[in-house]
A and B are shown apart, each in its own frame.
Chain A
Amino acid sequence: MSTDTLTYEYDVVVIGAGGAGLRAAIEARAQGRSVAIICKSLFGKAHTVMAEGGAAAAMGNVNANDNWQVHFRDTMRGGKFLNNPRMAELHAKEAPDRVWELEEWGALFDRTKDGKISQRNFGGHEYPRLAHVGDRTGLELIRTLQQAVVSFQQKDFREHGDYEARIKVFAEHTITRLLLDGDRIAGAFGYRREDGQFVLFKAPAVVLATGGIGKSYKVTSNSWEYTGDGHALALLAGATLINMECIQFHPTGMVWPPSVKGILVTESVRGDGGVLRNSEGKRFMFGYVPDVFRKQYAETEEEADRWYTDPDHNRRPPELLPRDEVARSINSEVKAGRGTPHGGVFLDIASRLPAEEVRRRLPSMYHQFKELADVDITAEPMEVGPTCHYVMGGVEVDPDTAASSVLGLFAAGEVAGGMHGSNRLGGNSLSDLLVFGRRAGLGAADYIARLEQDRPEVQDADVDAARTEALAPLEFEAGENPYTVHSELQQTMNDLVGIIRREHEVAAAIEKLGEFRERREKLSAPGSRTFNPGWHLALDLRNMLLVSDCVAKAALERQESRGGHTREDYPVMSATWRKVNLVCSLDEQGRAKLEHKPVPTIRHDLLELFEVSELRKYMTEEELAGLPGMEPADEAVEVAAVEDEVVEAEAEAVEAEAAEVETVEAEAAEAEEPEAEAVEAEEAAEAEAEEPEESEAQSEAESEDAPEAEVSETAEIPAQAEADATESVADVSAADGEEGAK
């Protein structure tokens, strides 16, 4: 083995220092294990800081009716029942404790009048549920966990005279390979960004907490770190990924200026009266209301405008359709040549509200556009288009221990799959990473306890191979610039495996990925090993390509539209496909291969939290057999079920239309229920009333972590309708792969 490698020994190596990684590290250390935390950036800069909305936890501080069962139900609905039900259950049960313990570590959440943690309404959540700090909840979470790590270090300093005796942060380090001893994890290999020094961590347990994959897409809200490292490391170590086709696109990201392309524009802008217009000045959304939604959405601008002040007697403006509908409509307008100069559409609040009002309700958006785009949103419209936001798919894990299929390898947070099904609710990400970060830390500690003396050994040959692989781009001289390949990859994924997928396009993408793969082997990164971004990118590209291969192949395979996966040629949800997890692993050539495995079944006591009529929208009749309240389905239902379509049992209108293969929106029914909406409106008002003045203003502000609409005080967005990300596709003929953002 080469001698130019620094070697460390730890019990647990946590890769990633965002919320999930830090929570895992804290737990492993609390269990008495020595822990290395590896972060690609500086400590405390992880992408978690971008999350603004809050952490969903059914504490019931604002509405005492909330409990874990309701949260579980919301999560399953949001994920279109592709979720791992045990994960959704654990998450809903444990989130409150995870939020409360943050307070012990010094977090300062916004408060209710009686001094408890305040909770905010959010799309898809039945009750006000998100613990928050203005619009910077993610920052609070990271800082709190960072400071909890420091407090362990201070404890160790008092005991051992060394802050880093038992928990050390390796900032600006990148892991390029996991090392195995037979079928067990033995360590991890990587480099220090600062000087290119190679590092070897010998450790029997590794926790992956590396976040997402957005950097494979051209337009994304994700930071440069999101190159799918954990996903790729897991694959290369022999672990499996599930449902990588499920990717959440947010309809309104900034498209201009280039520096901020992809950064989110909150749905509150639309909730507060903002309207979408094309380059001809037309409010085009009226032309895109699918038949199943026609009953709930206004047909004229006059009616739509009345809704903001009188939602009981008017129908909702079509700008507030589910996000997939909005994203697709924006797409079509741009494609038809009615886009803005920068390839988006206009989002106009300036002509809708007095300037003072805009500043009061949307302070953070006001500043975001003022400072980043030099656009005064009180005077001119914003330009927006869809942006890649979150990957629901990820490492296949055991819900209770976060263990992957490789011994000693654990995963938590965005890199893990299953929890969110096909679509994540806003606010469920921060709580997810706390709940499963802790479980991964515990899982790792327990695993080590069981190992006792039988520790795996790192093989020298593996270290040498990892070293050679990492050096390749520096040593290869006449190769291609990694930036070129990266930008082509981003363009390809954006264009061909974007919001709306078509068989031939996805197939073309897979072919291109094969070419990129060959080109990647011959990249060269001039310069030294000292903080050399070109070199780092060349190495990250391996991961992006592997992950993109999984995404594209899974997108081609899944013949239905569900949550974050929309197929133009299979526009509706299929009860048969709901039962399928697409499991990705690597074949001998290192290419992604897929397998179908059953989605874990939902226990009866959990199924009983739903009405049978609702379950019918998602499940086959056999699955429901034996449930109380289960009567034979009526004819119409059966016919549709045979056609493998989702059946909207509650909305009569939908049944009438089921024959014309149109969108069949499960959420139509929820959106129609007046009581539910009224109750929510009250709660929203309550929640707002309890907000102190400053945070009231902020609660309107955008939420980066919120794929779903936030509920604002004046314009209430029925939770369920917004919970819906990309679902079935109506009128797809005009849509196209350019995803409206160039």
Chain B
Amino acid sequence: MSYKAKFKVWRGDAGEGSLEDYGVEVNEGEVVLDIIHRLQATQAPDMAVRWNCKAGKCGSCSAEVNGVPRLMCMTRMSTFTEDETITVTPLRTFPVIRDLVTDVSFNYTKAREVASFEPPAELKPGDYRMAQVDVERSQEFRKCIECFLCQNTCHAVRDHEDNKDHFAGPRFLMRVAELDMHPLDTRERRNEAQEDHGLGFCNITKCCTEVCPEHIKITDNALIPMKERVADRKYDPLVWLGNKIARRK
């Protein structure tokens, strides 16, 4: 069941690079990451690629396969025809280090700018009480494996390098939402989302949601509710206030 596939892999570093052609064996049941590993083991031992879990759980192996941002370990070869040329390129939004490895430090910088969880000061460890329904909203966002595919895809950074300073990107706006919806967080985060993290740059195209391998409804469940709250549209000040006071108990 094995055949020889045509691959084009971007090779190069920060300076320059180009797509290189490879003919490589493909066996039944393999994923794109397997083929990259076969290239390493047989033709290009120095081909740079990130990966860890091979099971879609660590978010390391992000790249663009035929232009689509994906996890390589979750992209099955059987989704391509045998005569199709498969092109693998690094994430476009982040600077290339080498080959398929990009500099994703932007994301770690943004992560650091989101103020940490602030529990009520007097609450002792072991005394936290939260209802399952209340933790579930934030739990959805905590499924994030930080593959940064959404960050890579969002046009607000993908096509506008200069926005990077002012826009945290969907993953970290979602982190703000996650903390905001945490039943015990005491910090007022609404304004921060807008003023510090650039919520306004998002025009709810949902491209981030589409690429999320964890199927998190980033736009619907995190970004839109936050926008609504910021815009005071659907948000009822009394409910909101009651909520914040209640949790300060």
* Residues of chain A at the chain B interface (Cβ within 8 Å): 41-45, 47, 49-50, 59, 96-97, 100-101, 103-106, 108-111, 114-118, 133-134, 136, 139-140, 143, 147-148, 150-151, 153-154, 163, 169, 171, 194-195, 223-225, 256-260, 263, 368, 371-374, 481-483, 487, 525-528, 530-535, 692, 694-695
Contacts and interface: CB of A to CB of B under 8 A. Distances in A.
Contacts of B73: 259
Contact of B142 (A47, A143, A372, A695): A143
A139 B57 contact: yes
A154 B29 contact: no
Contact of B51 (A44, A224, A695): A224
B33 A374 contact: no
Contact of A163 (B45, B54, B112, B179): B112
Contacts of A114: 129
Contact of B55 (A109, A148, A263): A263
**Nearest 7 Cβ contacts at the A-B interface:** A257-B29, A527-B46, A534-B45, A115-B129, A106-B117, A151-B116, A531-B48
Interface in B180-214: 182
A589 B42 CA distance: 33
B47 interface: yes
Contacts of B130: 108, 111, 115
Given A111-B130, A140-B142, A483-B40, A154 B99 contact: no
B66 interface: no
A435 to B, nearest CB: 15
Contacts of B146: 44-45
Contacts of A527: 45-46
Contacts of B116: 105-106, 147-148, 150-151, 154
21 contacts: A42-B50, A47-B52, A103-B119, A104-B119, A106-B119, A106-B179, A114-B129, A117-B128, A134-B139, A143-B142, A154-B112, A194-B97, A258-B34, A259-B54, A374-B78, A483-B40, A526-B45, A527-B46, A532-B48, A533-B46, A533-B49
B195 to A, nearest CB: 17
Interface string B48-82: 11111111111110000000000001101010000
Contacts, number: 178
A148 B131 CA distance: 23
B45 A257 contact: no
- Looking at A44, A97, A105, A133, the one whose CB has the most chain B CB atoms below 10 A away is A44
Contacts of A97: 125-126
Contact of A372 (B55, B97, B135): B55
B131 A42 contact: no
A630 to B, nearest CB: 38
Contact of A101 (B31, B125, B138): B125
Contact of A533 (B27, B29, B47, B54): B47
A105 B123 CA distance: 12
A134 B140 CA distance: 11
A163 B78 CA distance: 46
B111 interface: yes
B74 A372 contact: yes
Contacts of A169: 108
Nearest to A133: B139
A483 B132 contact: no
B215 to A, nearest CB: 10
B49 A136 contact: no
B40 A533 contact: yes
A467 B78 CA distance: 44
A133 B142 contact: yes
A256 B142 CA distance: 30
B40 A534 contact: yes
B101 interface: yes
A64 B139 CA distance: 26
A530 B76 contact: no
Nearest to A117: B128
Contacts of B136: 692, 694
A543 B45 CA distance: 20
A171 B105 CA distance: 10
B171 to A, nearest CB: 12
B239 interface: no
A49 B145 contact: yes
B227 interface: no
A49 B58 contact: yes
Contacts of A256: 29
A115 B131 contact: yes
B19 interface: no
A545 B145 CA distance: 32
A96 B130 CA distance: 17
A483 B37 CA distance: 10
Given A108-B139, A108-B142, A223-B53, A374 B29 contact: yes
B221 to A, nearest CB: 14
Contact of A50 (B57, B101, B133): B57
Nearest to A150: B112
Given A115-B131, A259-B34, A50 B112 contact: no
Nearest to A486: B41
B45 A481 contact: yes
Contacts of A695: 132
Among B13, B51, B116, B138: residue with most chain A CB under 10 A: B116
Contacts of A43: 108
Contacts of A96: 126
Given A259-B30, A259-B34, A527-B45, A692 B132 contact: yes
B115 interface: yes
B143 interface: yes
A104 B54 contact: no
B48 A111 contact: no
A44 B40 CA distance: 25
B125 A103 contact: yes
B104 interface: yes
A728 B81 CA distance: 50
A530 B48 contact: yes
Nearest to A373: B29
Contacts of B99: 531
A692 B133 contact: yes
B45 A260 contact: no
Given A105-B117, A534-B45, A153 B53 contact: no
A111 B46 contact: no
Contact of B52 (A45, A100, A139, A692): A45
Contacts of B28: 257
A535 B46 contact: yes
Nearest to A96: B126
Given A139-B142, A532-B46, 19 more contacts: A42-B60, A45-B58, A45-B60, A49-B145, A108-B130, A117-B128, A136-B57, A147-B117, A194-B98, A223-B54, A256-B29, A258-B29, A373-B29, A481-B41, A528-B46, A530-B48, A531-B48, A533-B46, A533-B48
A259 B33 contact: yes
A402 B104 CA distance: 34
A171 B78 CA distance: 34
A153 B109 CA distance: 11
A464 B138 CA distance: 50
B63 to A, nearest CB: 14
B141 to A, nearest CB: 10
Contact of B182 (A108, A140, A151): A108
Interface in B127-163: 128-133, 135-136, 138-139, 142-146
A150 B131 contact: no
Interface string B220-241: 0000000000000000000000
Contacts of A532: 45-46, 48
B53 A49 contact: yes
A139 B145 contact: yes
Contacts of B132: 110-111, 118, 692, 695
Contact of A371 (B56, B58, B145): B56
Contacts of A117: 128
B93 to A, nearest CB: 16
A257 B30 contact: yes
Contacts of B101: 194, 531
Contacts of A103: 119, 125, 128
